[in-house]
Structures are given as C-alpha cells and as structure tokens.
Chains A and B, each alone.
Chain A
Amino acid sequence: MKKKLIPAGILIVSIALLLLGIMRKEYMEVFRRGILICLECIGIG
C-alpha cells in the first residue's frame, strides 16, 4: 500500500503545482526565457 500511496501523493502535489503554474501563466516566462540566446549558457555573458 505504501508503495502506491507515496508516489501517488507526490504525483497529486506535482499535478497541483503544474496547474497552479499554468494558471499563473508561468509558461509565458519559460517561453520568454527560452526564445532568447542565453549568453551566459553559451559562455559569453
């Protein structure tokens, strides 16, 4: 039972967090960050 409950509990919390993030339109922040070349990531910034 414990084998099922712990992952199921984490899964429910994670889905709730994901939905909260979608409601807060965090994917737009992810999008804004992703479409620009990250100069730090490529070793220039």
Chain B
Amino acid sequence: MRKIRIKKRHIFPTNLVQWISLFAINGYFPVIKNPNLYQGRLKGLVCPSLNCYSCPLAYTSCPIGLMQHFAIIRAIPAYLLGWLGIIGATVGRAQCGWVCPFGLVQDLLYRIGKIKLPLPRGFVFVKYLILAGMIPLSMLTLDPVFCQFICPAGTLFAGIPQVLWIPDLRALVAHLFWIKISVLSIVVILSMMIKRPFCRALCPLGAFYSLFNRVSALKLQVDMDRCTECDLCYQVCPMDIKIYKDPNQIECIRCNRCVRICPEDAISVELFGKPLGKKQGIPLKVKVE
C-alpha cells in the first residue's frame, strides 16, 4: 500500500478561526488601564467554550464555572443548559476545534514539542468522571471544585494575569495557587508531547458536548469506496482519531482538518442530513512513497 506523509506544515481554516475567537472572547483590552476585569452587560452571556470569567480580558462567562455555581446555589440552570444544548444539537463538539482558546494553546504547544506520544486509551474516560463528579462535589463542598483544583485554562488566562496585575491578590497567594500552577505546568509539558491532552482527558465541557456528537445536525461522512485508509487524516487530527472507522465518534471536534487534507475527497460535511458542498481547501503538498 502506498504511504502518504505530510511534506509541508499546512495552515487550516481552523487555525485562523481559533486566533479570531481568542481575541473575540478575550478582547477587553481597556482593562490594561485599570487592572480588574470586564464588568459590562456581555458578562450575562455564556461563552460557548471553556474560558474563565475571571480572565481580565474576558467578555463572557465560563459555562463550567456556571454549572458549578448553579450547583452550589442549588438551582437548575435552564438558561445555561439551553444555550449549551443549542450549540451541542447544532454543531456537536465543533467549538472545541474552532473556538476554544485553551485548545489553541495546546495545538501551539504540540507544534513546538519534539517527543510525540499517544494518549493512553483509558484516559479519555476521565473527563466523563470529572463531568459527573463535579456537580455533586460542588453541591457538597459549596466550592467550584473543578475550577479550584484542576482548570489549567483558569490558571493561565485568569490566575496568572490577575495575581501579576493586582498587588492585593499577590499577597493572598497560598498553596492552592501553587497546586494550580503545578497542574498547568503538567498540562503544558504533556501538550508538547501529546495532542490536546486536556481536551481529551480532563475537559468536562468537551465531555458534555461529546454527548451530542452522534445526534447533532452537523456530521461528517466518509465515502469508504474512495477512502484508501492512507491515514493522512489521522496524522493531522488533533484528537488522534481515525475518522474512517467512525465518522461521528464522540471524540471528534469537527475541526474538519481531515476533510481538507483527504487527497481522495472521501470525507464530507453534512448539516441536517444535507451535504455542505465540496471542500474548498488549499491543495496540500504530500509526499507519496
């Protein structure tokens, strides 16, 4: 069988959208004049991706922080669940691939790493345990446990900037802050070796959206008559998925890199069962051995 390898680093539309999303979600730069955080009306909106509301630049509120907050105050978050349900039912887990700022951070870190390792298979289920355990634990402890002990996105985008900018907060730094810095450091190191380790193993929001992947309106289709199983899609997949084995598996983040890269045009996207047209990717330089 012929082997195809990517000859040149390819820029996907996802990369561009990820950067635009980063600044669209975290674009409140006037905060630099007065270190604190954005306190305008947009904070009443829920961010589609994991993005800490304590990030000084954040316009919107974090869905995972809110899930825990509503658990603590023992209220059913209809507004939050409705919003997340609309996203899930429409595009499944696509926001992880196109919008999430911490996903972008992991993608960039993976590019600079030299040693490449696969994620041990069982680790993908940890995020479901976190999702299932987070709510009852928050109700019991009256603390947002995921944000408090795990969330590396909160540490990177909120913890470090806030502690550096606000002297009063710096004085309050204790062991918990260093625990979070340690978690972030581990995730950063792992991200250089493993593709998106946080998204695949730990993110409860990814776990929530993945429940919609098989039933969402946006789906991928693989024409197995065309597919040669060259594994080019597997090489570019940020989630290490062989899409031809199951086009709508729950780990897929619908970044469409496989659609763009497939030399046989075997993978297509459909919305509500209707094809979204032919791919319009830039022809990729590949090396055939």
Contact = CB atoms under 8 A, between A and B. Distances in A.
B244 to A, nearest CB: 20
Nearest to A14: B85
Interface residues of A, number: 36
Given A13-B85, A37-B162, A44-B177, A30 B80 contact: yes
Contacts of A34: 43-44, 53, 60-61
User: Which 6 pairs, one residue from A and one from B, show the smallest C-beta to C-beta distance?
Assistant: A21-B79, A18-B82, A14-B85, A17-B82, A34-B43, A26-B79
A27 B52 CA distance: 17
Contacts of B201: none
B53 A44 contact: no
A27 to B, nearest CB: 4
Contact of A14 (B45, B70, B89, B143): B89
A35 B39 contact: yes
25 contacts: A4-B272, A7-B272, A8-B217, A10-B89, A14-B85, A17-B85, A18-B78, A18-B79, A20-B78, A21-B80, A26-B77, A26-B78, A31-B61, A33-B69, A34-B44, A34-B53, A37-B36, A38-B158, A40-B147, A41-B144, A42-B154, A42-B162, A42-B177, A43-B176, A44-B176
A28 B79 CA distance: 10
Interface of A: 3-4, 6-8, 10-11, 13-22, 24, 26-31, 33-35, 37-45
| Chain B residues touching A, range | 35 or more
Interface stretch (B13-21, B93-101, B109-117, B167-175): B167-175
Contacts of B172: 39, 44
A42 B163 contact: yes
Contacts of A35: 37-39, 43
Interface in B65-121: 65-66, 69-70, 73, 75, 77-86, 88-90
A42 B272 contact: no
Interface in B33-48: 36-39, 41, 43-46
A33 B86 contact: no
A7 B154 contact: no
Given A41-B65, A44-B173, A17 B81 contact: yes
Contacts of B70: 29
Contacts of A10: 85, 88-89, 212, 215
A8 B143 CA distance: 36
Contact of B86 (A6, A14, A20, A37): A14
B237 interface: no
Contacts of A16: 82
B22 to A, nearest CB: 19
